[in-house]
Amino acid sequence: MKKFHPFLLSVASGLLLAAAWPPMPTTLLIFIAFVPLFYLLEQGPSKFAFVAWSFLSMLIWNSITTWWIWNSTDVGAIGAIIANSAFMSLPWLAFYNVHQRLGTKFSYWAFLACWMTFEYIHLNWELSWPWLTLGNVFANTTNWIQWYEFTGTSGGTLWVLLVNILFFRKLIQLPHASRPQLKPAGSLLLIAIGVPVAISFVVKNFTLSKEETTITNQKNTVVVQPNIDPYAKFFPGTQEQQLQQLIRLSEAAIDSQTVLVVWPETAINSPNGLDEARLRQNSSLEPIWNFLSRHPKIRLLSGIEAYGFLPEDTESPYARPIPGSNLKYEAYNTAALLDSSGILSRYHKSKLVPGVETLPSFLRFLDKWFEQFGGTTGGYAKQEERTVLVDQNSGLAIAPAICYESIYGDFMTGFFRNRANVMVIITNDGWWGNTAGHKQHLAYARLRAIETRRWVVRSANTGISAFIDPYGTIVQQQGWDSSATIKQAIQPIDKQTLFVRFGDWISWIMIVLSILLVSWSSIVYLTRKKTAKTTT
């Protein structure tokens, strides 16, 4: 093999990964993005050198694609990017160890399994930050991955890794291959990319043909994008003006057929939060109740910055003391379904943003370093249940996703197993400014639509608000940094996809495979070490 400087190979992988990522149009580059690091391993570096160069690749990828976190918090951005890059280096360490102990035949399978195990863990632990899950890369090429209704994003990750491994294995054979051997190799690569795309088109056309015979009643829904400065919305004395703007925009779009109006995350707020149990008695919210009284058929789904008092004997890790009393309370980032009588049903955000809304116990000493991404540095209380917000009048059963909860595909399936028939995302992406962040967040919502085959209704404070159909097609996308209302007839869908029924089943297979291969390699290593010690 011709040798290349490790720096060039490391930088090449990082740049290829970043260039493939949404909103860039060069998605195909993802199928060769890991090849330079594979090449680096075959050059025989030391363990420390290989992991260090892998870390540099991951750092470049993270920095270019998620640098926009800096607009919310400089220290938090640096910490998040470095930490995520370090976590991403762990599968490369496992790859190196298995490669040294079991050789090429098994090490690439081990890397594939370990990477997917890492992604699963990163979706489900306290420092979760799965923004760069490999399967998310196809968020703007949804015609390629209509089969996500069976696999979720793990199917996309598996596809990316398999093609990278296949491409590399064929690449290193080229110097020894004859011309007749090159054609089958090229054909194999085209098949590896082309067949999943072809399957996607078949799945979409089959689903569309079935849908034509099953359409029933549609629900007229209005989404409001108020475009309120996220850094000023909690200033005292501004709440009345904010409510008037939300109501004015809503009134301009609703009609006699409207059944649901959606406002964004924390649209209903107060500098000190709102008592969730006494929301209907709060005089400052009277404009909302008047609005809903004028339109009794309409339900309002809105984000609320809320709190709730706790009984004295309640033990809660999220409890906060009230100075000068024995009382405690919890703070909530709430999605609530309202009519003129008050809250009909509610859901408290469960997936909390690391470093802002939650920190694991071993990092609590860092809490003052983290500024707001869009929550509260004091920490929200979360709930474990997937509460579906049901409107008996319209038949809508809503899966609420608050802020970045919508990037958790397996998590969201819990709502649909609880019989949700539509997804509503309420978010506030304005903390990041006009960067790739809010565009990526919108794109990832397209994956949830395909996985669940549900309509997605998205209300974002500063944009981008939109509707997304069950095939991931964006409808009525609004501009960034503008106020707007959009109206769409959406179809509640009750059928459960395979991914909804069984969740992230591919990851579980990969977890088992990674345990087997890493354990086997460890046994081989210890056996050799013991043998060497005995012989000396």
For 93-109, how does the pLDDT look when each residue is reduced to its tens digit (9 = 90+)? 999 999 999 999 899 99
| Per-residue pLDDT band at 376 (split at 50, 70, 90) | very low
Rounded-to-integer distance, Cα 200 and Cα 204, Å: 6
The pLDDT, as a whole number, for residue 367 is 53
Beta bridge partners of 419: none
Rounded-to-integer distance, Cα 158 and Cα 192, Å: 12
| Torsion angle defined by CA atoms of residues 288, 290, 291 and 292, in that order, rounded to the nearest 10 degrees | 90
| Per-residue pLDDT band at 361 (split at 50, 70, 90) | low
- pLDDT 10s digits, 310-348: 887 777 777 888 887 788 899 999 999 999 999 999 999
* 72 backbone dihedrals φ, ψ, rounded to 5°: -95, -45
The mean-pLDDT minimum among 212-216, 409-413, 492-496 falls in 212-216
Give the pLDDT mean for 186-195: 86
State how beta strands 389-391 and 396-402 pair.
antiparallel
pLDDT over threshold 90, residue 179: no
The pLDDT, as a whole number, for residue 377 is 43
The pLDDT, as a whole number, for residue 178 is 52
pLDDT over threshold 70, residue 110: yes
Beta bridge partners of 330: 308
pLDDT over threshold 70, residue 400: yes
| Torsion angle defined by CA atoms of residues 462, 384, 134 and 445, in that order, rounded to the nearest 10 degrees | -30
| Per-residue pLDDT band at 453 (split at 50, 70, 90) | very high
| Contact call for residues 279 and 292 (beta carbons, < 8 A) | no
Question: Which comes out higher in pLDDT, residue 421 or 232?
Answer: 421
What percent of the chain has a predicted confidence (pLDDT) above 90? Answer: 73
Output the average pLDDT for the chain: 90
pLDDT over threshold 60, residue 514: yes
Give the pLDDT mean for 488-513: 96
| Per-residue pLDDT band at 49 (split at 50, 70, 90) | very high
DSSP structure string for 384-442: SS---EEETTTTEEEEEEEGGGGG-HHHHHHHHHTT--EEEEEE-GGGG-SSHHHHHHH
Give the pLDDT mean for 468-495: 95
- pLDDT 10s digits, 287-317: 999 999 999 999 999 999 999 998 877 777 7
| Contact call for residues 207 and 449 (beta carbons, < 8 A) | no
The pLDDT, as a whole number, for residue 364 is 57
pLDDT over threshold 80, residue 362: no
What percent of the chain has a predicted confidence (pLDDT) above 70? Answer: 92
The mean-pLDDT minimum among 153-157, 202-206, 220-224 falls in 202-206
pLDDT over threshold 80, residue 249: yes
Dihedral sign from CA coordinates of 74, 78, 79, 84: positive
DSSP structure string for 113-177: HHHHHHHHHHHHSTT--GGG-GGGGGTT-GGG-TTHHHHTHHHHHHHHHHHHHHHHHHHTTGGG-
pLDDT over threshold 80, residue 1: no
| Contact call for residues 464 and 480 (beta carbons, < 8 A) | yes
pLDDT over threshold 50, residue 411: yes
The pLDDT, as a whole number, for residue 374 is 39
The pLDDT, as a whole number, for residue 307 is 93
| Per-residue pLDDT band at 372 (split at 50, 70, 90) | very low
